Amino acid sequence: MGHLSAAARLAPVSLWTLALASVSAVAQNAPVAPPAPVAGQLDEITVTATRTEERAVDALASVSVRSRQEIRAQQPQRLGTILSQIPGVTTQENPNDPATAVNIRGLQDFGRVAVTVDGARQNFQRSGHNANGAFFLDPAFLRSIDVTRGPVANIYGSGAIGGGVSFETVDPKDILRGGERFATELGATAAVGGRQTGVYGSGIGAVRATDWASGLIGIAGRNLNRYKDGGGNAIADSGQDLVSGIGKIVLTPGDGHMLKLSAQVQRYEFANGVGTSTSPRRANEVTTSNLVAKYSFSRPDNDWLNLNASLYRTTTETDQVRISGTPAQIGQSRYFNIETTGFDVNNTTRFRIGPATMAVTYGFDMFEDRVRTSDPFSNGDETTPGGRRRVYGGFIQNHVKWSIVDVIGAFRYDAYELEGATTRSDGQRVSPKITVGVTPIQGIQPYVTYAEGYRAPAITETLVNGLHPVPASFTFVPNPNLKPEVGKTVEAGLNLKYDGLLAADDRFRAKFAVFENRVRNFIEGVYTDPGAPCGAGPAANCADATYTYKNIARARLRGFEGEVTYDARRWFVALAGSVTRGDNKTNGQPLESVYPDRLVLSGGLRFFDERLVVGGRLTLVDEQRRLPAASLAANASKAYALVDANVTYEIAKDTRIFAIAENLGDVRYRRYRDSDRSPGLVTKFGLTTRFGM
């Protein structure tokens, strides 16, 4: 593992000490916080499906939202802990790399899932034996996760033929309450035990300087040793060293006006690689920055102007230094940097025509990726080539409500320009969307949707060029003639919402959907070896083997998703599950990117006026053997079942202690497509607290 500064390593310990010292003060001064929900909440607000605020349970789309309370209740060390509980969503995460790749309905990599943090696109990618499209994000500062499945999310941004995931970071209003001018929060300070040991912690300070100006600053640190799987086997390079910080200023200078300026910086240090002549071991230092400026205007007395505008710049810089090999090889360095700049402007105008109400939303967005790579001692800069890609588009959408009928119609125009070395490509298209929903009985809302999405080829897909490292020195071949992918989805869904179903203060929420997504010109890496097997016998056997990205004529994905929650205050339960099947309709083989079936059951009890919450979760994951014949032996995964438990107790106002046990059965398992097995039993004991004045 890499080495952080002494201050960085001591950050979690310092936060723990500060937390213990703060308990008595908080008990006397802080107001009572509402109980943290543990079951999935479909009442949270979503914007990714239509760009207008609405509750997830009311959205005529497959939408799920996870709130800050739910994220903090689980204390996730990686985003996959939360995302993999959402139907149709999973992640590819490797123990020796803290990056996360999101898969929605069997689609991932190269922007098929549009990922944003505070509205800023996350487009980092580095070729290797890993996902081709990942991002780095510390969960410590998240306030919400908003997921829309399928190309119905195309209005939220170009390329989202699989869906979109929007991460929002904490605001000053999440820390400050009532008339407070200053507040501090220790979001989590904990010791980790079991199959992994270490400490982590985070702290945020917020201030309200005037009635119209507030801000916050936060720091988080994590120092975790490498873990063992359920069989007691140590997993190499699975530890984590992380320091991240966030700063945000919120200005409301006039009625309806709001300006947000935010910055988030993260630094990860880790090492990976086997350390052989063909798989060198490298020390990694990853630094990310996310700079965002947002302006919005909205007032209840102005239906014509509900404006949102943002400007952002995201960078991910990966520096690697070789730490194995001959004396001449040790110390060799290379880097992979991507910078994404972009903006987004949209407005919603509301009006009435007779008995019908209309909400017309329209806007324009653009982002540009600039990729710079350098590897003077190998070919990393050939397999992850440098280049520039600009993607832009505009849209218009009309949501009509008339009696029991909702109709949403939209068109999005997309275009792109890509260039690198001597290669250029471009394209454009208009993608439609139409949704019809009916509410025949209060609380029951079926809907049907047809939506299309458009994804431009990525820089690597188009420009990759060079030799694979020995012993399999086959050739990567560029393909400047790649066509953009077009996803066409038909979806039927059902929303259910009832209050007071079995008791006066209970809530029942449910969303179900079936879908079929046909992707035209699906892009997939194609390996061709017409002669003797590459890698066997003489090195010359690889001379005729090639790997290039090509358009597959047709790919089809279909499946079912469901999410149900019931909260009776004293007890609660949630159920989420999904089934997805994907096929290459050209050769009749299954798609390797489709994950196995999954069912998640969670629930719990509340005691002592909801000060004590006891919860648990059962996760059932099926085996995955529905794979292309060529990859079945190497990539098939086994079924497994996991049990998690958590206890939270409010020992004083706004101060809670928690105990969490993940993988209680100490199961030895490997998630599909992960490079190694996941941790065995891991325990977390810690504290969250807040003080305001």
Q: Tokens 């996803």, residue?
A: 487
How far apart CA 50 and CA 393 sit, in angstroms, is 16
Domain boundaries, the chain: 6-692
- Does residue 25 have a pLDDT over 70? no
The sign one gets for the Cα dihedral 93, 560, 621, 39 is: positive
Chain center to CA of 339: 19
Which of 290, 171, 267, 285 shows the shortest CA–CA distance to 221? 267
Cα distances (angstroms) measured from residue 459 to each of 76, 136, 340: 32, 20, 13
Least confident stretch, 232-236, 327-331, 543-547, 591-595? 543-547
Q: Average the pLDDT over 127-133 and give the result.
A: 79
Which of 309, 376, 389 shows the shortest CA–CA distance to 344? 309
- Does residue 146 have a pLDDT over 80? yes
- Strand 113-117 versus strand 163-169 pairing type: parallel
> Using one digit for the tens of pLDDT, what is the confidence trace for 532-574?
777 666 666 787 888 899 998 789 999 999 999 999 999 999 9
How far apart CA 603 and CA 617 sit, in angstroms, is 7
What pLDDT, on a 0 to 100 scale, did the predictor assign at position 536?
Answer: 67
Per-residue 3-state assignment (H helix, E strand, C coil) for 491-521: EEEEEEEEECCCCCCCEEEEEEEEEEEEEEE
Q: Which two tokens stand for residue 155?
A: 């209005």
What pLDDT, on a 0 to 100 scale, did the predictor assign at position 446?
Answer: 98
**Amino acid code (one letter) for 138:** D
How far apart CA 518 and CA 452 sit, in angstroms, is 9
- Does residue 22 have a pLDDT over 80? no
Q: Which two tokens stand for residue 370?
A: 């600039």
* Cβ within 8 Å of residue 82, ≥6 positions away: 66, 70, 71, 74, 76, 139, 145
Contact at 8 Å (CB) between 295 and 258? yes
- Structure-derived torsion over alpha carbons of residues 578, 579, 584, 587, reported in degrees to the nearest 10: 160
Cα distances (angstroms) measured from residue 605 to each of 59, 68, 244, 506: 29, 20, 34, 14
Q: Average the pLDDT over 195-208 and give the result.
A: 95
Cα distances (angstroms) measured from residue 661 to each of 79, 192, 306, 504, 596: 17, 10, 45, 33, 24
Query: What is the phi-psi region of residue 191: left when phi exceeds 0, alpha when psi lies from -120 to 50, beta otherwise?
Result: beta
Higher pLDDT, 5 or 588: 588
Cα distances (angstroms) measured from residue 142 to each of 218, 471, 680: 12, 44, 26
C-alpha radius of gyration, the chain, whole number: 25
In eight-state DSSP terms, residue 99 is: -
pTM (2 d.p.): 0.91
Instruction: Give 296's Cβ-side CA count (13 Å radius).
Output: 11
What pLDDT, on a 0 to 100 scale, did the predictor assign at position 243?
Answer: 93
pLDDT band at 286 (very low <50, low <70, confident <90, very high): very high
How far apart CA 544 and CA 557 sit, in angstroms, is 33
Q: Which two tokens stand for residue 538?
A: 């003489």
pLDDT band at 17 (very low <50, low <70, confident <90, very high): very low
Task: Tell whether omega for the bond before 471 is within 30 degrees of 0, i.e. cis.
Answer: yes
Q: Average the pLDDT over 174-199 and give the result.
A: 92
Q: Average the pLDDT over 89-105 and give the result.
A: 92
How far apart CA 476 and CA 383 sit, in angstroms, is 7
> Using one digit for the tens of pLDDT, what is the confidence trace for 588-611?
899 999 999 999 999 999 999 999
pLDDT band at 354 (very low <50, low <70, confident <90, very high): very high
In eight-state DSSP terms, residue 460 is: H
If you write DSSP's letter for every residue of 322-352 in order, what string do you get?
E-SSSTTTTT-EEEEEEEEEEEEEEEEEEEE
Three-state DSSP class for residue 10: helix
Contact at 8 Å (CB) between 451 and 161? no
What pLDDT, on a 0 to 100 scale, did the predictor assign at position 7?
Answer: 37
How far apart CA 319 and CA 317 sit, in angstroms, is 6
What CATH number does the domain located at 6-692 have?
2.40.170.20
- Does residue 219 have a pLDDT over 50? yes
Higher pLDDT, 204 or 8: 204
How far apart CA 36 and CA 176 sit, in angstroms, is 17
Cα distances (angstroms) measured from residue 13 to each of 198, 201, 270, 488, 660: 10, 8, 20, 51, 19
What pLDDT, on a 0 to 100 scale, did the predictor assign at position 49?
Answer: 80
Least confident stretch, 419-428, 562-571, 647-656? 419-428
> Using one digit for the tens of pLDDT, what is the confidence trace for 28-78?
333 333 444 444 468 888 888 888 888 999 999 999 999 998 998 899 989
Q: Which helix (H) or strand (E) holds 213?
A: strand 213-224
> Using one digit for the tens of pLDDT, what is the confidence trace for 360-405?
999 999 999 999 999 998 888 888 888 999 999 999 999 999 999 9
- Strand 163-169 versus strand 655-662 pairing type: unpaired
